Structure 1
Amino acid sequence: MIALADLEGVWRLDRQIEDRRAGLSGLLEGEAVWQPDGTGLTQIETGLLRYGDAAPMQATRRYLWREEAGLLRVYFDDGRPFHELTVAAPEARHVCPPDIYDVRYDLTGWPDWSARWHVTGPRKEAVITSRYRRRTGAVSVRGAG
């Protein structure tokens, strides 16, 4: 059983984006850090995003992870709910009208794992796959942010 505390640390992040509606592909290479924040963990992703023919750009995301009532709950960094899951049922849906974001976490290769998002909506049709591999010997950014 994987618990929230198992995510703490520094992970290599490789994200593939297949925007089927726009006919574009993207790749983000960077890292994801889960660090304690007093209530759970804050996830901070940073990396270089290459998308279509656009110039590469730096990308950053932050999420709050909490273990509550037997669930892993993920919040946007401003506290709004994003999605929730259990390790036994690692799937979730986030509805952001008019778009729907469905995710499936694959933890079978733990500690290597992935999250695959299917995004659909009137103007969206994308698959976003993020792969995480624990970095050994990495220095945590505790206290950052």
Structure 2
Amino acid sequence: MARRDTTAGEGVFQPGGRHCVADTLGYLAGRWRVERAVHDLCQDRYGTFRGTADFTREEVGAGLRHVERGEFTWSGETRLASREHLFESVGDGAALVRFADGRPFHPLDLREGSCVADHPCAEDVYRGEFSVLAADCWRVVWRVRGPAKDLRLVTLHHRI
């Protein structure tokens, strides 16, 4: 029987209305506790990430710098992990997420409380489903599919 990892918020919240926000970047700004469950469906292996995400205002421009740091555990081994993105305002409360080097990643609009975004990467397709669950909690579910990949990553963010 496969293990169901609920550490990243699966099954924690009952379905209900979406929590709308006026401005995507305004909502994200600040510090968040991050819990991520990673499931490699090809190999039926699980991993976790636990850490923090800081969304801080850029000195130049109207965007946010996203810096995530923590510990990633996979196959019984725990290592330090980090990543960065840039969140750029595109007006009207929506945003464009960029990789740290400035390449575009995906649009993000949380004003209606949820958003779906796709990102093609070589032969793989990343599909992210973003949900604002409350004023201090949001979730993203990434499905990554490709010739050699079938991953599901569920991340829950709680405002600190």
Match of 1:26 in 2: 47
User: Partners of 1:62 and 1:26 in 2: how far apart?
Assistant: 20
- Structure 1 runs of 4+ with >6 Å offset: none
RMSD: 1.2
From 68, 78, 103, the counterpart of 1:80: 103
Tell me the amino acid that sits aligned with residue 68 of structure 2: E
Measured at CA, do residues 52 and 75 of structure 1 come closer, stay the same or move farther in structure 2, by a change above 3 Å? same
Q: Structure 1: 5+ residue runs without aligned partners?
A: 136-145
Tell me the amino acid that sits aligned with residue 99 of structure 1: D
Identity %: 28
Q: Give the structure-2-normalised TM-score.
A: 0.79
Superposition pairs for residues 32-111 of structure 1, below 5 Å?
32-37=53-58, 38-39=60-61, 40-53=63-76, 55-70=77-92, 71-87=94-110, 88=112, 90-111=115-136
Number of equivalences: 134
Tell me the amino acid that sits aligned with residue 64 of structure 1: L
Q: Structure 2: 5+ residue runs without aligned partners?
A: 1-20
Q: Secondary structure at the match of 2:87?
A: strand
Deviation at 1:86, TM superposition (A): 1.7
